[in-house]
Amino acid sequence: MNNTLVSDLQIRYAIYRFFADECRAPLANEIAERIQLSLDDVRLAFRRLHDRHMIFLDAETGHIRMANPFSAIPTNYRVRAGDKLWWANCAWDTLGIAAALGIDVEIEATHPADQQRLSLKVVQGEVSNQDWLVYFPLPCRQWYDDLVYT
């Protein structure tokens, strides 16, 4: 593995660790400080990770908008464990947060069509209300055409 790829993967891991610990997206300077790299190197790595669809940067600010399954902005999909709260990008990602962290969670979602509130739990890897479905409006090959929408 080349050194750029190794440092990009270290930065990606640091991003996920930060989301898990702090319940929010890190800024580039926070990652630079955590893993002792220059701010410029981290910003370049953020761009490479974005280009590889490993994170998603906000087009205007250059800050992390998504590191699937985590969202940096409030959404209709909330995942709670104790006093921690994470935002997910979609219903599917709520389950991804539970799986990625390997913890029991409570999930609250608001259905986009009718604003109905839905809730379920994941306890020891098992999902309550297993008769529900997750709907994907587009095939996964089209998600990055407009990731914020999908």
**Gap between the Cα atoms of 34 and 27, Å rounded:** 11
Query: What average pLDDT does this structure show over 83-105?
Result: 94
At the top level of CATH, the class of 3-63 is mainly alpha
Query: Domain residue spans in the chain?
Result: 3-63, 71-145
Could you give the strand order of the β-sheet that contains 126-127, starting from the edge strand earlier in sequence?
Answer: 56-57, 64-67, 70-71, 84-88, 77-81, 105-110, 117-123, 126-127
The pTM of this model reads: 0.84
CATH code of domain 71-145: 3.15.10.60
Which pLDDT band holds residue 147 (cuts at 50, 70, 90)?
low
Mean predicted confidence (pLDDT) in 85-90: 95
Q: What is the pLDDT of residue 133?
A: 64
The 10s digit of each residue's pLDDT in 48-71 is 999 999 999 999 999 999 999 999
pLDDT at 145 over 80: no
What pLDDT does 5 receive? 60
